[in-house]
Amino acid sequence: MATLEEIGIGLNSVLDKAAEAGAAMRTASDLVDGAQSLLASAVGGSLQPDVEATNAHFSHVVVRVTELHKTLSVAIDGVQASRRSAQRTARTSSTRIRPEDARPLVHLERRGARRADLERGRSSPPVGR
């Protein structure tokens, strides 16, 4: 199993590749915009159906690239959340927890156990607050 440090390094590599992909998508969008502009200037405002269809295809490409970029951003957010979680785990695992800090966790575990018992139709003694 990988160490937390190795996981962090791996997640950073994922973020680097995702940033490269994002840059490529921005470049693709810019290039398509440029092609669309060149088409418009080459045909001089022609209203021919094939020119209009081609222009619509270029517009569709830009829209799809924008959607993909938004999806990539959501994926990046997920990787960053995983990285933060790994960093928190690394910090807490290297820090000794004092008994008084652990009490609320025990209370929640007991409350969860009580809820599970009630769901199964069993009764357990009430948990102190």
- CATH, residue 72: 1.10.287
**Average per-residue pLDDT in the chain?**
77
Give Dmax (Cα) for the chain: 83
> Using an 8 Å Cβ cutoff, are 76 and 15 in contact?
yes
Residue 99 has pLDDT above 70, yes or no: no
Residue 92 pLDDT: 78
Residue 120 has pLDDT above 80, yes or no: no
* Residue pair 45/116 in contact by the 8 Å Cβ criterion: no
**Which pair of structure tokens corresponds to residue 117?**
């018992």
Residue labelled with tokens 């990539």? 72
How many domains does one find in the chain? 1
Write down the pLDDT at residue 4.
83
Residue 108 lies in a domain: no
From the CB of residue 7, how many other CB atoms can be counted at a distance below 10 Å? 18
Q: Is residue 117 part of a domain?
A: no
Task: Domain of residue 28: give its range.
Answer: 4-95
pLDDT band for position 94 (cuts 50, 70, 90): low
Question: Which residues, 6 or more positions from 29, have their beta carbon under 8 angstroms from its beta carbon?
Answer: 62, 65, 66, 69
Is 12 a domain residue? Answer: yes
Task: With respect to residue 109, please indicate whether it lies within any of the assigned structural domains.
Answer: no
Contact (CB, 8 A) for 29 and 65 = yes
Higher per-residue pLDDT: 42 or 98: 42
Q: Does residue 107 lie within any of the structural domains?
A: no
Residue of higher predicted confidence among 6 and 108: 6
39-45's contacts with Cβ under 8 Å and 24+ in sequence apart are none
> Which pair of tokens denotes residue 79?
């990787």
**pLDDT score, position 107:** 35
pLDDT of 119 > 70? The answer is no
Residue 25 lies in a domain: yes
Higher pLDDT, 90 or 49: 49
